[in-house]
Structure 1
Amino acid sequence: MSVKSLRQTVQGLLPSLTPVRFVAEDGTRVAKPPAGYREPSVEALREAYRRMVLGRRFDTQATALTKQGRLAVYPSSRGQEACQVGAVLALRPDDWLFPTYRDSVALVTRGVDPVEVLTLLRGDWHCGYDPAATRVAPQCTPLATQVLHATGMAEAQRRKGEDGVAMALIGDGATSEGDFHEALNFAAVLRAPVVFFVQNNKYAISVPLARQTAAPALAYKGIGYGVRSEQVDGNDLVAVLAVLTDAVAHARAGHGPVLVEAHTYRMDAHTNADDATRYRDAEEVERWGAADPLSRLEAHLRARGALTDADAAAAREEAEALAADLRTRMNADTTADPMELFDHVYAEPTPQLLEQRAQLAAELAETAPTQED
């Protein structure tokens, strides 16, 4: 490869020097919109706004259910709605989504039943929804393991002659895991149609970004593996949707994987079991609150005459209906069947499993209440 060709190749991998942005914090368009990205249509932005309103209300309702003891744990994604909604809207229904435990709003946006989304966090079953039917992999708690799964699924689709894309959602902490680097290398060598979307919310639980990496941005981590990379303002839905739509199209066209880093912020604690005041101050939270993605998009749409008071009220009314339905169904106690322990373990149960199943069935029969009881 000549020096000129090498330089062009490297330039094609490098992310923008500053995060891609279309809309400022106050909702106004930036003075110089980024070149090379197509701005989403007004219709797409209106739909994104509606989905963000629904997602925000779902998130606050899930947090309330946790405080009421209906969920064992809930990792809020308040403040990251532009990332969650933008990621899903950039995909086709036949593409695959590989989420983390914090991506519940993305699942709701994808069309997964909100109760099924919370089933895992409630302690019922392992996943709660049908991955094959929804094309959404189980929400992943171990950091970065799903990026290898996404790469494998993307490569499988390519080998089958399909043009599907897989998108893996990860946090900044996951980029410190070996699985993340293995997936980047694997995907690049195979030119697998996968998009790695890093929601950099500045903390891996309590560990700040500066203690995780010395790189100028997480987006630069793709270059060493030959992966095209980009960084985007993760609180600007317009920019997120534009960049991810471009990344998905790049991967779908057979040009290989893409790494996108979104700069965003987790407004609430890591989970309900975390005390975020121990590692970040109120001034930082307030500063990021001024960059709220939902308020930014609403202000932008109103300034363009694309959102009225009636539109906003309709979105809020729909969100309240979603929250009410979620409360009603989550407040209904579930009936646990101990025999489900043995379902879906093996396609053909082993002799040991059948023996254990029979033993439990006998014990349950002995303790079952009689008519006299």
Structure 2
Amino acid sequence: MSAALDLARALIRRPSLTPDDAGCQALLGERLAALGFALEPMRFGDVDNLWARRGAAGPLFVFAGHTDVVPIGDRNAWSCDPFAAEVRDGLLIGRGAADMKGALAAMVVAVERFLAACPEPAGSIGFLVTSDEEGDAVDGTVKVMDALGARNERIDWCLVGEPSSDQRLGDVLRIGRRGSLTARVRVVGVQGHVAYPERALNPIHAFAPTLAALCAQDWGGDGATFPDGAFPPVSFQISNIHGGTGAGNVIPGELVIDCNFRFPPRPGAEALKARFEAILAAGGARCEVQWTLGAQPFLTHGGRLVDQVRGALGAVLGVEPALSTGGGTSDGRFIAPTGAEVVELGLRNASIHKIDECTPAAEIDQLADVYEALLHRLLGRGA
């Protein structure tokens, strides 16, 4: 069995349900310390983070990832123990196999092989690992980046090991993500008896035309930002609606709606807020809005990192990746604003967060080969 697969299985066997790291970072740290990395555990709240760096000179290339995983769901629906890391019919099965312990293992093994061939790189290598990516993401990568910024430690290039691949390994390279903007709308009514509507104000009835108007909107989003692709347009989705006391004969006194925008740089968060609030005002219902900006959009295009990742994928796998900004959010949103070039490249994402999450075992080794080739292209003495 390969070194990368062995390490991936060892990580999966640690049930690191967010935000519990369950010893994964200690395991990774042992391997990195043996390579000469200086380890700096950073714990914020209930979250374990690991910053590890080898070398002091620039440029600094960083592998970023997370050890935490989502809950397993219905245990009886799994075909095997979700933390046993079983290999069956060429697939590694287990929670975190694809998202993203397989990629973490590939990163470490790639660095081991690279340093064996090039013990004095033309720059530094870092690892930024958190146990808070699948959770609230408030005590993880964002706090580590604050700590690095406070001491002027700057990342030049960062590869996030999120599962970006679609039909085959390496066929998608994420070079950005849309932002995330959430609104909680409280519609105020007057509670009363359903038989006497004239003595009450039903917030559901009052808001229904506004809800229809919001859902019918074309929120736009001109994504023609880079030559090889585009940001997807704005996505608007209602995620929760709650109104009523549970009694069938009571008009509720309030209605609460949660909705979310995923948005590209144009039109941006402030423009979406303004349009949304204008629609609420035109509807006439009494509304209060609470906004949460979860992430700003980011984009890496035209830099050395994107070019060299594409070159490594072509050389190792014979793949020309599609450049993408799709999907949800990632911790790249905390790293890109510092000026770092950020990309996401990992295993296939078809099974992530699902029952029987899995990844082809051989692709963990192949991903390690791609990561190693990238290191040679960026930090090899002949680069």
Determine if the TM-score, normalized by the shorter chain, exceeds 0.5. no
- In terms of fraction of residues, the more helix-rich structure is 1
TM-score by length of 2: 0.22
- In terms of fraction of residues, the more strand-rich structure is 2
Select the structure of larger CA radius of gyration: 2
